[in-house]
Structure 1
Amino acid sequence: MEPDNPLLDDFLLSLATRRRGAGDRPRVLYVPTAAGDDQGRIADFEAAFAERAETDVLSLFRRDGRDLREQVLAADVVYVGGGSTLNLLALWRLHGLDEVLREAGEAGVVLAGISAGMNCWFEGSVTDSWGPLDALPDGLGLLRGSACPHYDGEAERQPTYVDLVGRGVLPSGYAADDGCALLFRDGELVEAVSSRPDARAFRVHRTGDADGLDDAMEAAPVAESPVDVRFLG
């Protein structure tokens, strides 16, 4: 969700339309756990999607009695908002939402998100959940490897991620600039798209690692291999 730039939102809705079929409004479920169910972010979500989709919000701080599994599986898209990746994962596991989301992904629901909503799907990530940037090697693991959002948006993200991968604290993975999204199918990266003409993505991996997702946890030089990015504008 970028104010005045709906290109990535449009792309996400196109994925939902392929799942639901032409002519039906897609169902988009927003999960704002990482920001403590912040009402301002919920309002931003509604402003971005309400005119083009059936919107719903899954709140863990203000449970409304609905069954979480039914709510998630009724969606075409689950959109996870930004905030604290650490808090998000802890609460999801307490409520059993982690397993529900795993089931949803296997059922073909599009799992998406921004910032913490990128981090959560991988085995590990770079997060500022503790304050300073550090590794969180405890993601859902629906996607192999690690993730680093905001690669160009925060000065310390790039050197921190490269260092963590190089020292084996995090497995090799993917970094994305602000305005760039990575599309995976069956666990494999199939496309990178962007809402900004200069947004980039990288496979950040130890040198000599053929597939970019080596599990060896030992120090090694790191390469940032550019991923082709398609500008949506």
Structure 2
Amino acid sequence: MSVVAEPRLALLGGGFSTDDDGLLDDWLLGHVRAPRPKVCFLPTASGDAPAYAEQFHAAYDARACEPSVLPLFRRDRDDAALRAFLLAQDVIYVGGGNTANLLAVWRVHGVDRILRAAYERGTLLCGISAGANCWAEGSHTDSFGPLTHLSDGLGLLPGSVCPHYDSEPGRRPSYREAVASGALPPGWAVEDGAAAVFTDGRLTEAVTRTPQAGLHRVEPDGDGGAVEQAHPCRLLDGARRPAPPV
């Protein structure tokens, strides 16, 4: 009798598209049992930008995996082939870009339903920025220009997600306000450099490639505001530690 892995997804605050040390990419692959995992990159949120796909291949071709890129703006698979291809992956990695556009394109092609099936089978779903936002019930996004809330995610992760929590002006106060007002449900704020794995919706690991980056839980405080709680993050081996005092 085969054992089906628990459903897992990862929120990434970095990786091949932003970092030069490869720590989060190596950490991500360390969560896959297959000796040579199949890793599929979906650059949908960037409009299938060729340079983004090239970045992915440059980072993953040299790793012990079978990398591939799935474009949807010039689709070459029918529904059955698309489903078979995605369900055969060990990791599905979603790139950054426009969260609202990403979700709309996926729904037109039925990719949202396939990803849910892949998740339930144990494929590790992950992504950065829009690729982190998409898995939750709602997210904090600049898909429409100004920072705002989007209550329209896939709902595989309960609550909401906010990427770039520490690096983009206005992210922190805007997300806290959205949670405080009820525009977004309580959720997870990811700083650039941090990452987290959720198993069946529960946080099971949080890591960081820099001592400064972290993961925060943001919830209403019951008095019209919001409160955030920092979760401990393990500093990845090889990360740059602060210089000792002189």
- Could you tell me the TM-score, scaled by structure 1's length? 0.91
5 Å matches for 1:104-119? Answer: 104-119=118-133
CA distance in 1, matches of 2:199, 2:19: 28
The counterpart of 1:42, out of the listed 41, 53, 70, is: 53
Give the equivalent residue in structure 2 for 1:206.
220
Give the equivalent residue in structure 1 for 2:116.
102
For each residue in 1:87-143, what CA deviation from the matched residue of structure 2 results, as whole angstroms up to 9, or x when unmatched? 000010111100100000000000000000000000000110111011000000000
Q: Secondary structure at the match of 2:93?
A: strand
CA distance in 2, matches of 1:135, 1:206: 15
After TM superposition, give the deviation of residue 221 of structure 1 in Å. 2.1
Q: Secondary structure at the match of 1:87?
A: helix
Give the equivalent residue in structure 1 for 2:76.
64
Give the equivalent residue in structure 1 for 2:158.
144
Q: Which has the higher contact order (CA 8 A, sep 6+)?
A: 2
For each residue in 1:160-213, what CA deviation from the matched residue of structure 2 results, as whole angstroms up to 9, or x when unmatched? 0001001110000000100111110011011111122211110000125xxxxx
- Does residue 14 of the first structure (1) align with residue 30 of the second (2)? yes
CA distance in 2, matches of 1:100, 1:65: 14
Q: Secondary structure at the match of 1:59?
A: coil
Give the equivalent residue in structure 1 for 2:43.
32
5 Å matches for 1:128-143? Answer: 128-143=142-157
- Could you tell me the TM-score, scaled by structure 2's length? 0.86
CA distance in 2, matches of 1:124, 1:182: 17
Give the equivalent residue in structure 2 for 1:158.
172
Q: Secondary structure at the match of 1:135?
A: strand
Query: Which ranges in structure 2 are unaligned for 5 or more consecutive residues?
Result: 1-15, 240-246
- Does residue 183 of the first structure (1) align with residue 197 of the second (2)? yes
CA distance in 2, matches of 1:152, 1:203: 14
CA distance in 2, matches of 1:68, 1:136: 27
Q: CA RMSD in A?
A: 1.1
C-alpha contact (below 8 Å) 2:176/2:225 kept by paired residues: no
CA distance in 2, matches of 1:182, 1:3: 17
- Does residue 231 of the first structure (1) align with residue 242 of the second (2)? no
Query: Which ranges in structure 1 are unaligned for 5 or more consecutive residues?
Result: 209-218
CA distance in 2, matches of 1:3, 1:185: 25
Give the equivalent residue in structure 1 for 2:21.
5
